[in-house]
Amino acid sequence: MKFYPVKEENLAIHESPRNTYGDTLVQSGERFSNIVVLDADLAESTQTKRFKKRFPGKFFDAGVAEQNLMGVAAGLAMSGKIVFASTFAYFGSGRAWDQVRNIIAHDKLNVRIVVTHSGLGVGEDGHSHQALEDIALMRAIPNMKVIVPADATETKKVIEKSAETDGIMKGPVYIRLVRQNVPKIFDDDYEFELGKAVKLADEELANGDDVSIIACGVMVSKAIEAGKILKNEGIKASVLNMSSIKPIDENAILEEANKTNAIITAEDHSVISGLGSSVAEILAEKRPTIMKRIGTNDCFGQSGTHDELYKYYGMTAKDIANAAKKILKK
């Protein structure tokens, strides 16, 4: 498993993954002539407007009609294009699930469904826009890869690899971004590997043998903070970034289970069928382990700032640390 040291000064920097997405699309468009971008009347929010400005002839707005968006994306992919189809997470996963499953995934098309505004981070927009079930919907579809970048740098690396015609990202990919700015974890020297977890924080935390914290997306920085809280209390925690939900790094999960026998998962998503369930399924079959899943518990979100909501639903760094302490008592 790869180890990546996290710099304290980086965590103080907050960056926008969706802005990085927009910039990386433009850079990829300069490199590859067969890239096209689609959106659902949300280019201002998803930041695909940057690609539209640079390549107006390769940008298509499907309007507020995600089913049509995915159908057009499929047709363009069949003609040899690398297609980036963007909208909000709830609409790209739920509203268009039929077209994604029956056309894009079934035919293994090169469509990258890059969604923003996922999880509780959508904040004041409330439950109608807070996708807390989208990972579950996408990972259940055959042939679909599901990636949840931890920060803006990892977003850039994922989009760059997604722009390639062949290679590890060939076929359909679901990439889940957030609305809010997030702490910087990775520098430009970081390389994303599909299906591989990355150990984070300082060396002592990365090799912690008391408890393992496995997180994705915005919860990775919270997991790092939780690791520091535990360290101050004499508890050594491994912190893993599991941005690749499908395929998932089974070997890393089993390695952590064998070392600590105590697993915490953390995700801005329902605990049902997301990262936590993915980890639990592997452990149940191959290495039964005491674990706790941090996320929303079979409920809808509500309006509020993202910080208020993470606190209300028990998804802060302190909550992760407390869960680790409770699990160790078992």
- Residue 281's domain is classified under what CATH number? 3.40.50.920
On whether both 167 and 210 belong to a single domain, the answer is no
Residue 204's pLDDT is: 56
On whether both 163 and 37 belong to a single domain, the answer is yes
Strands, E assignment, the chain: 2-3, 14-15, 35-39, 59-61, 82-88, 111-116, 145-147, 173-176, 182-183, 198-199, 211-215, 237-241, 244-246, 262-270, 290-296
On whether both 174 and 226 belong to a single domain, the answer is no
Residue 330's pLDDT is: 79
Q: Residue 318 domain-assigned? A: yes
Q: Residue 188 domain-assigned? A: no
Active-site amino acid positions: 66
Residue 137's pLDDT is: 98
Residue 2's pLDDT is: 85
On whether both 166 and 293 belong to a single domain, the answer is no
On whether both 84 and 30 belong to a single domain, the answer is yes
Residue 206's pLDDT is: 53
Residue 284's pLDDT is: 98
Sequence letter at residue 254: L
Residue 327's pLDDT is: 94
Quote the mean pLDDT of the chain.
95
On whether both 80 and 179 belong to a single domain, the answer is yes
For range 65-90, the mean pLDDT = 97
Q: Look at residue 84 and tell me whether its pLDDT is greater than 70.
A: yes
Residue 203: pLDDT band (50, 70, 90) is low
Residue 165's pLDDT is: 74
On whether both 39 and 130 belong to a single domain, the answer is yes
Full residue range of the structural domain in which residue 71 is found: 14-183
Residue 202: pLDDT band (50, 70, 90) is low
On whether both 26 and 160 belong to a single domain, the answer is yes
Q: How many domains does the chain have?
A: 2
59 forms bridges with which residues in the sheet? 37
For range 101-108, the mean pLDDT = 98
Q: Residue 275 domain-assigned? A: yes
Q: Look at residue 198 and tell me whether its pLDDT is greater than 80.
A: yes
Q: Residue 303 domain-assigned? A: yes
Reported pTM = 0.97
Residue 1's pLDDT is: 82
pLDDT digits (tens, 9 = 90+) for 105-121: 999 999 999 999 999 99
For range 280-297, the mean pLDDT = 97
Distance CA 214, CA 242 (A): 6
On whether both 34 and 125 belong to a single domain, the answer is yes
For range 40-49, the mean pLDDT = 97
Residue 205's pLDDT is: 55
On whether both 138 and 255 belong to a single domain, the answer is no
* Torsion sign (Cα): 184, 231, 254, 290: negative
Minimum mean pLDDT range among 25-29, 127-131, 166-170, 196-200: 166-170
